[in-house]
Amino acid sequence: MPLPNIRLLDTPEDLRLVEELQRAVWPGSETDIVPMHMMITVVHNGGLVLGAFEEERIIGFVYGFPGLEETPDGPRLKHCSHQMGIHPDYRDSGIGFTLKRAQWQMVRHQGLDHITWTYDPLLSRNARLNISKLGAVCTTYRRSEYGEMRDGLNAGLPSDRFQVDWWINSRRVEKRLSKNPRPTLTMGHVARSGLRPFYPAPFSDAGLIRPPEQVPPFEERILLAEIPHDFMALKARDFALARDWRFFVRELFETAFAKGYIVTDFVFDKTEGTLRGLYVLTHGESTLDEFE
């Protein structure tokens, strides 16, 4: 599809459109909708709401505000990107990347160099965008970040989240967002590296991928951690298995981050006709690129 028109939104009329779009993106819980009056307050106090439009129809948005983070030298400013939503009819069409690139430009113009946000680490689509395409990294796992959520996408499972760091002036990010970005990793890169997945992820009798019984020992400086390629479909078919995955990845990433590993990339590709999603965890200065 043609690139959408991206524009800053700062009027009650425009932000009412964002309010309505949220109901299509996260159906089932009115209490989880950010109201127009809150977004008006945000944009009048340094925050940003960006909308993606196809002609006059809003099809996506991203919303954030300035925040503080603790550092050894005291508090410093960052941008907290709170929500991004794409209309269900337009997912997987590149709109999310276009919105985040516009946000990158606007926040740099404000003089900030760090954007953070959260996402469910079991959602491969989000991991591919946030980690692989945008160049964010992660060292923070937050248990039940939003408490019990009641919308149709999140209800029933602990709201565990990655908090990612997007260092928007770094060479890594600038390269990912350039006109000639680094190609996203594929299973071909993994095969050429000689690396194997950190643990086997066998299939159940119903053909659904299962987590291992326990997290294996951390022995290599680069690890490939597999997750279900479509967690929402798996959750719809086998809720108990979805819970098993939630608690497995909680232990996996909390242990990895405590040992100094960083999530630096994500592989989402087909191998032998099967879609697969694998996080790349690195220790120290190692990257998968050095094995290509």
Threshold 0.85, pTM exceeds: yes
Report which of 252, 24, 275 is spatially closest to residue 121, judged by C-alpha positions: 252
Give the whole-angstrom CA distance, residue 237 versus residue 134. Answer: 31
pLDDT value at position 100? Answer: 98
Phi/psi for 113 (5° steps) reads: -125, 5
* Two tokens, residue 270: 């087909």
pLDDT value at position 184? Answer: 85
pLDDT value at position 291? Answer: 36
The alpha carbon of 54 is separated from its chain's Cα centroid by a whole number of angstroms, namely 24
pLDDT value at position 188? Answer: 86
pLDDT value at position 137? Answer: 97
Cα distances (angstroms) measured from residue 93 to each of 27, 90, 153, 221: 21, 6, 20, 34
At a CB cut-off of 8 Å and minimum separation 6, what does 143 contact?
158, 160, 250
Supply the DSSP symbol for 203.
Answer: B
pLDDT value at position 292? Answer: 35
Residues facing residue 61 across a β-bridge: 51, 85
Cα distances (angstroms) measured from residue 250 to each of 199, 246, 255: 15, 6, 8
Q: pLDDT tens digits, the chain, 292 residues: what are they?
A: 678 999 999 999 999 999 999 999 988 777 789 999 999 999 999 999 999 999 999 999 999 999 999 999 999 999 999 999 999 999 889 999 999 999 999 999 999 999 999 999 999 999 999 999 999 999 999 999 988 766 555 667 999 999 999 999 999 999 999 988 888 888 888 888 888 889 988 887 778 999 999 999 999 999 999 999 999 999 999 999 999 999 999 999 999 999 999 999 999 987 767 788 999 999 976 554 543 3
The length of the chain, given as a count of residues: 292
Give the whole-angstrom CA distance, residue 149 versus residue 19. Answer: 18
Question: Hey, what domains does the chain have and what are their CATH numbers?
Answer: 5-176 (3.40.630.30), 187-291 (no CATH)
pLDDT value at position 168? Answer: 97
pLDDT value at position 207? Answer: 82
